[in-house]
A and B are shown apart, each in its own frame.
Chain A
């Protein structure tokens, strides 16, 4: 059975790239949301196994979105994806309780390997 992923990213290009990487590798994209608020609604509705979440978005950013999701579901499996991938951003990601931030542009192998790590 395919594992479900919710993508929260305002870029249709990024969402399409993720789709091309993960589908056919044991995952299925159950929904894409363009902002944090929409992503939170979709999470509540669909309870996906994974969330791939961009940091830079209009409205609330990915870090704030992740904090809200984790507050509602501490077991949520969230992978941050961003072009902002410096040490201080990584520290911010860790401070909210997440382990993984992968950089854009997206590397397919890195994404798949990180999803596997997240699933352990």
Chain B
């Protein structure tokens, strides 16, 4: 099958635009893109989302604790959330971001892809991965957040959503 080439810069551009915009919309946090990728001093909160279909990817979010707490608090400032509720709220925030990213990509490709529910994972260091990679670091008043996207693409007329 022919591969649909997805430009790394296109992915980066889409991810950046959606992430910054949706973060401002949902939690009123201004995320500033950093020039260089910065490994975070602490990666207490890592989440993984997988996509399947025309756009196959693994998206990792690495979030410093204070940023995580800020996101959770801003999603509902009226109540004191439990630890479990904070996790579920942040998962929804990441779900919205990734869904909107994938929507942009789907529209550009003219094909459909699906995504998994975000799951929290132990910090993942992926080595010797053959897929393309793009990584972005962001800073806000509370700390840092990284987004790493490993991706490939294929023209897949047979749906294989084995997420």
Residues of A in contact with B (beta carbons under 8 Å apart): 10-14, 16, 56-58, 61, 82-89, 92, 103-105
**Chain B residues with Cβ under 8 A from A61's Cβ?**
114
C-alpha gap A103/B96 in the complex (Å)? 9
Rounded to whole Å, the gap between the CB of A80 and the closest CB of chain B is 12
Contact B115 A56 (CB under 8 A): yes
* B103 proximal to A (CB < 8 A): yes
* B112 proximal to A (CB < 8 A): yes
C-alpha gap A103/B18 in the complex (Å)? 14
Give the size category of B's interface with A.
Answer: 20 to 34
C-alpha gap A92/B53 in the complex (Å)? 14
C-alpha gap A84/B102 in the complex (Å)? 7
A interface SS class: loop
Give the nearest-CB partner of A34 in chain B. B88
Contact B89 A82 (CB under 8 A): no
Residues of B in contact with A (beta carbons under 8 Å apart): 22, 25-26, 75-76, 85, 88-89, 91-93, 95-100, 102-104, 106-107, 110-112, 114-117
**Chain B residues with Cβ under 8 A from A87's Cβ?**
106-107, 110
Contact B115 A85 (CB under 8 A): no
Contact B117 A10 (CB under 8 A): yes
Provided the pairs A10-B117, A56-B117, A105-B26 are in contact, do residues A85 and B89 lie with their beta carbons within 8 angstroms?
Answer: no
A selection of 11 A-B contacts at a CB cut-off of 8 Å is A11-B95, A13-B93, A56-B95, A56-B99, A58-B117, A83-B97, A83-B103, A84-B102, A87-B107, A92-B112, A105-B25
**Chain A residues with Cβ under 8 A from B115's Cβ?**
56, 84
Q: Can you name 7 extra interface pairs (CB under 8 A) apart from A10-B117, A104-B96, A105-B25?
A: A12-B85, A13-B75, A56-B115, A85-B103, A88-B110, A103-B100, A103-B103
Contact A104 B99 (CB under 8 A): yes
